[in-house]
């Protein structure tokens, strides 16, 4: 199975809103919840990231990974 097919299979049933909500929950799982404006700002930033990442292909995403992490991933493969 190709990398693209693996990712597509893993994301079935999840849309940008679901992913942004989950990221916001994870973010505030480690921090004290702020006021509603702060929560809205954090959610908006996560939604924008999810939207951008959804438009990139695998090669573009690979370029965003720091070189040190990419080396570790190649070692473990």
CA 17 to chain centroid, in Å, comes to 12
DSSP letters for 9-21: HHTTT--HHHHHH
For the cut 70, the answer to whether the pLDDT of residue 4 exceeds it is no
What pLDDT digit, counting tens, does each position of 25-58 carry? Answer: 999 987 888 789 999 999 999 999 999 988 888 8
Percent of residues, the chain, with pLDDT higher than 70 = 79
14 — pLDDT class (breaks 50, 70, 90): confident
Q: Write the CB contacts of 73 (distance below 8 Å, at least 6 apart in sequence).
A: 65
pLDDT value for 9: 53
């Amino acid at each position: 199975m190709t990398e693209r097919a693996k990712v597509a299979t893993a994301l079935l049933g999840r849309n940008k809103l679901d992913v942004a909500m989950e990221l916001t929950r994870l973010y505030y799982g480690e921090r004290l919840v702020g006021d509603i404006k702060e929560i809205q700002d954090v959610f908006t930033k996560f939604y924008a990231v999810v939207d951008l990442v959804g438009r990139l292909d695998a090669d573009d995403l690979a370029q965003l990974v720091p070189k040190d992490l990419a080396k570790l991933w190649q070692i473990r493969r």
